[in-house]
Amino acid sequence: MPNTKITKSRWETHFQYGKWIYIVLAILAICVSNLLFTSTEYRPPNSNKVTIQFVDHYAMVNDLTEDLAQTLLERVSPEDETLEAVELFSFTFTGQGADSHGFDKYYVELYVGENDMFITLEALARKIVNEGLALPLDEFVESGALTIPEGAEPLYMDEPIFDEDGNRVAFGEKHLYGFSTDPLVQLPRYAQMSHETGYAVMIHSCENPETTLRVVEELYAEMSKPMELVIVE
């Protein structure tokens, strides 16, 4: 009869040769639990959140940006009780054809229908407008829901006109499509982006434009504060 008694020496020998199996199993268990949590985690519907993307040759949000998102939510949610979340994200896109990853990410984020505002380079802002993916802002200025932030330059462009196949065939009347990031002196701090060459543009799929504009108004107010002077002793 074989000796199947588990002894300390046998266990140590087993673990010495089989420890990588346990490590792999532990990693798989963690991945599965994270996947289950992510897939079951509650996410507000698009109509109940405001999502803003920072896009530049290099852009990256940080812990300060997460704190800012919570601050914006606390300021605006009393005015719109349906607002459950403010999301500030970023990705890098050079706008060049060689940047295939950024190119794919750019179009996915535009067409997925979950983003409300892009704060991005002027060239990309104009590209969004020319592709018919931006929402004109004239009516919000007329209704008083939007005031161009102090120090920001308005972005007026001709409205693109498309045929039934989605091909741009002409341009129509000029509309307001966005405003510059010139006042956002804190933009490098929050998203590692320059504030001198960008525009804020609302995406056509935005489901709650007035609340989005209120969030952007508060974002401009916060990011326009003078940079703190750091004294090194």
The pTM of this model reads 0.78
Residue pLDDT, tens place only, 115-171: 999 999 999 999 999 999 999 999 999 999 999 999 999 999 999 888 888 888 888
What is the spatial distance between Cα 112 and Cα 206, in angstroms, rounded to a whole number? 11
Q: Give me the pLDDT at residue 230, please.
A: 40
Domains of the chain: 51-223 (3.40.190)
| 28 pLDDT higher than 80 | no
What is the spatial distance between Cα 185 and Cα 189, in angstroms, rounded to a whole number? 8
From residue 159, give the alpha-carbon distance in Å to each of 63, 111, 130, 136.
38, 19, 7, 8
Residue pLDDT, tens place only, 37-89: 455 677 888 889 999 999 988 888 999 999 999 999 999 999 999 999 999 99
